[in-house]
Chains A and B, each alone.
Chain A
């Protein structure tokens, strides 16, 4: 029973930061916008695949070396050595590549999000969009698994480490990567929170609650939903870049339905439409995940031969069902926000009712 507390905490927080970004993106799309994105894995995977491509093509270019084909048996090892070498010795190329990867991933994710928002307008029933996104994610996974140029098909691509290989020790590298992730998370969180409080956020909520009324009031449903798909997907793709760097290995099978479900559990657990809820949900799920795996190892060492990976999924399913049944608003429900105009109107009404006057103006508020 010997657990390195500091190392566990750091890796836990790293994972939390990455998941929290994805959870925030889903909370923008579903919590605020009401778009049932059952294909989050697709948008996360776009980031991972982008990193796979840039690490093998763009980074050698930035470092002024020849890119090698990373897949074939002939120079797979050299290509891997080249990646590791650049990460270790050339901070500028590594960081430049990282920045460009984030930008490209965000743009690609946004584009595919935009593409995915078109069906939303055409589909007869709203849940079709969920099914289409789910299936699109699986299609993309199968395509990438069979198509070599992206991440070497089903073999996957190793050596996609954080762009911090030039730092002296493994510990420093870990802390630096964590700091990087937490900074990105903070920016994303502040952005999402501001978006939720803005007039734009209110339009999203209005469309979510009753799109007929909101469209009737002149809110452009198609455009707004398209925009929120772009924003959310770009954020998910950025998280995907960080995700694949944390794992260090790009494999299409990591981005399947279980990942999507994990993110949904986080958002439903934390509270739909509440950004702090998404953070809380991500924290609970990652902690729970880590503790079940530690418990599993401990119990297996005690000779209890039970595959705890299975128990973990059962546990997540039960948590999700209990939440949906008994507390569908989540641990932190969506805050009721009143605008300045709204509270002024309420004050006027209260005054008028207090005076006992029947004023025509009071009808506005009802």
Chain B
């Protein structure tokens, strides 16, 4: 395949993979701490994107402010959805299917509220405007400032989250709840506060992911829904509750969707209209053949000392 196409697709994969990682760590957190496969996570992404879009259109604000706004708005929406829907249902000990169905319903409501907003203010297919300039041109490799926006922010946020989980007492409490919520409660972990913190982090990071997605491509009420199954594929590939696994998974999914797809198109004539099926195939194959995903690989790398913990 031509070098230009190949390098473009690799750059693309890195950007998309970083975004997927950012969106997926929140979902992994929800899955680990709240034991909830939350399909409404898609809409936190879309809400973040719209918060960023509206702010940037009305104030042309500086990008940091836009990201912070996306984080806050999406985190608030996540907290509200927990407070109104998921917490009461969990208290009733509803089954997993009921929770999944409820998350679909929450997603549906938020998505079409966004549609109403977009319809009223004509905000379909809009981009969050950042001046597009080429910062590096080296042979067939072209990097724009958007690349320099999206990738470092995503990666540093993911690193920040892992530091928080591993080094702070809040992170320890979250991991305790992920291991055994009842036991955590018994030994005095303030489960309600920890859950709220997890929702804020999950929603907020998804929101920032959505805002960056809006800079990279476009903002539409469907952005979250279009990305969510790829994000789920990353989480599933990572073994559902493993953070390093999820991050690896995000890049694998992104590379499969872009570079691999480009290759399949070039050598086998597979049309790009099949591209959305790539994450689906990953989900099905992983769940059927290796439900622990990539996470088992990391366990083997761990030292025996940490294994015992």
One of B89, B271, B273, B283 near A132 (C-beta < 8 A): B283
Return B295 CB to nearest CB of chain A, in Å: 12
A142 in the interface (beta carbon within 8 A)? yes
**Of A127, A310, A311, the contact of B100 (CB 8 Å cutoff):** A127
- Given A119-B288, A131-B37, A135-B280, the answer on whether A314 and B85 have CB atoms closer than 8 Å is no
B5 at the interface (CB under 8 A from A): no
Per the CB 8 Å criterion, the residue count for chain B at the interface is 39
Give the shortest distance, in Å, between A351 (CB) and chain B (any CB).
37
**In the complex, chain A residues whose CB is within 8 Å of the CB of B288:** 119, 122-123, 132
A328 touches B116 (CB 8 A): no
In the complex, B130 has a CB within 8 A of chain A: no
Chain A residues near B171: list those with CB within 8 A.
Answer: none
Q: Which residue of B lies closest to A316 (CB)?
A: B108
Q: Smallest distance from the beta carbon of B65 to chain A beta carbons, Å? A: 30
A315 and B111 alpha carbons, distance in the complex (Å): 12
Is A268 interfacial (CB 8 A cutoff)? yes
User: Looking at the complex, which one of B88, B112, B236, B292 makes contact with A313 (CB distance below 8 Å)?
Assistant: B112
Across-interface contacts of A125 in B (CB, < 8 A): 291
B101 lies within 8 A of A268 (CB): yes
Which residue of the partner chain B has the closest CB to A127? B96
- Interface status of B299 (Cβ within 8 A of chain A): no
Stretch of A75-83, A216-224, A235-243, A319-327 that contacts chain B: A319-327
- B residues 262-309 near A (Cβ < 8 Å) are 271, 273-274, 276-277, 280-281, 283-284, 287-288, 291-292
Residues of B within 8 A of A139 (CB): 277, 280-281, 284
**Interface pair A143/B115, CB less than 8 Å apart:** no
B98 at the interface (CB under 8 A from A): yes
The CA-CA distance from A87 to B193 in the complex, in Å, is 66
List the B residue with the shortest CB-CB distance to A268. Answer: B101
Q: Does A38 contact B (CB under 8 A)?
A: yes
Q: Which of B102, B111, B280, B281 contacts A321 (CB 8 A)?
A: B102
Query: A123, B85: Cβ atoms under 8 Å?
Result: no
Contact A145 B273 (CB under 8 A): yes
Find the A residue at minimum CB distance from B283. Answer: A135
Could you mark each residue 98-114 of chain B with 1 if its beta carbon is under 8 Å from any beta carbon of chain A, else 0?
A: 10111011101101110
Known: A132-B284, A139-B281, A142-B277. A310 touches B116 (CB 8 A): yes
Known: A135-B229, A320-B101. A123 touches B94 (CB 8 A): no
Q: Tell me how far the C-beta of A187 lies from the nearest C-beta in chain B, rounded to whole angstroms.
A: 29
With an 8 Å Cβ cutoff, the count of chain A residues facing the other chain is 41
Flag whether A307 is at the interface (Cβ < 8 A). Answer: yes
A119 touches B287 (CB 8 A): yes
Alpha-carbon distance A130/B100, docked complex (angstroms): 9
What chain A residues lie within 8 Å of B108 (beta carbons)? 261, 313-314, 316-317
Question: Shortest CB–CB separation between residue A295 and chain B, in angstroms?
Answer: 16
B97 within 8 A of A: yes
Contact of B280 among A130, A138, A257, A264 (CB under 8 A): A138
The verdict on B232 contacting chain A, using a C-beta distance below 8 Å, is yes
Q: Which of A122, A142, A317 contacts B274 (CB 8 A)?
A: A142
- List A contacts of B106 (CB < 8 A): 317, 321
A-facing residues in B86-145 (Cβ within 8 Å): 88-89, 92, 94, 96-98, 100-102, 104-106, 108-109, 111-113, 115-116, 119
If A143-B274, A314-B113, A325-B89 touch, does A136 touch B97 (CB 8 Å cutoff)?
no
Contact between A325 and B229, CB atoms less than 8 A apart: no
Q: In A106-159, which residues have CB < 8 Å from any B CB? A: 119, 122-128, 130-132, 135-136, 138-139, 142-143, 145-146, 154
Judge whether A277 is part of the interface by a CB distance below 8 angstroms: no
In the complex, 13 of the A-B residue pairs with CB atoms within 8 angstroms, ordered by the A residue number, are A36-B97, A125-B291, A138-B277, A142-B280, A154-B273, A257-B104, A264-B104, A310-B116, A314-B113, A314-B116, A317-B106, A321-B105, A328-B94
Residues of B at the A interface (CB closer than 8 Å) are 37, 85, 88-89, 92, 94, 96-98, 100-102, 104-106, 108-109, 111-113, 115-116, 119, 229, 232, 236, 271, 273-274, 276-277, 280-281, 283-284, 287-288, 291-292
